[in-house]
Amino acid sequence: NAGVTQTPKFRILKIGQSMTLQCTQDMNHNYMYWYRQDPGMGLKLIYYSVGAGITDKGEVPNGYNVSRSTTEDFPLRLELAAPSQTSVYFCASRVGGGRAGELFFGEGSRLTVL
């Protein structure tokens, strides 16, 4: 069971470039999340999805876009990359329903914008 898989693991972007971080899960989880982790700042929620076709903003959505066309995939799009988007990005999923709270995280994608 692969769990939550993120690609790429590392990426360097130039200012103004765009890219997509991929996230896929094989646990048939309804809920999926994108977080960014900056040193000393914990995890900040960018976007989340409660199911295919449904997405909503988190705490820090500016500069990002998401889509959820299937249960398995939740890509994060960065348009016009800026140095402030240098961070480690984590995708997570949760089974949802009732009060099942555990988040399953991927191993992260480290993005540097120069």
Partner 1 sequence: GENVEQHPSTLSVQEGDSAVIKCTYSDSASNYFPWYKQELGKGPQLIIDIRSNVGEKKDQRIAVTLNKTAKHFSLHITETQPEDSAVYFCAATYNFNKFYFGSGTKLNVKP
Contact positions vs partner 1 (CB under 8 A): 4, 31, 33, 35, 40-45, 48, 50, 56, 58-59, 90, 92, 94, 96, 99-103, 105-108
The minimum distance between CB 70 and partner 1, in angstroms, equals 20
Retrieve residue 114's tokens. Answer: 């120069």
Retrieve residue 72's tokens. Answer: 């398995």
Cβ proximity to partner 1: between 9 and 16 the closer is 9
Cβ proximity to partner 1: between 57 and 114 the closer is 57
Cβ proximity to partner 1: between 81 and 89 the closer is 89
Q: What is the DSSP-derived secondary structure letter of residue 71?
A: S
Longest dimension (CA), the chain: 43
The minimum distance between CB 14 and partner 1, in angstroms, equals 25
The minimum distance between CB 62 and partner 1, in angstroms, equals 15
How far apart CA 100 and CA 114 sit, in angstroms, is 40
Q: Judging by DSSP bridges, how do beta strands 64-66 and 76-78 pair with one another?
A: antiparallel
Cβ proximity to partner 1: between 11 and 17 the closer is 11
The minimum distance between CB 16 and partner 1, in angstroms, equals 29
Give 76's Cβ-side CA count (13 Å radius).
34
CA 105 to chain centre: 10
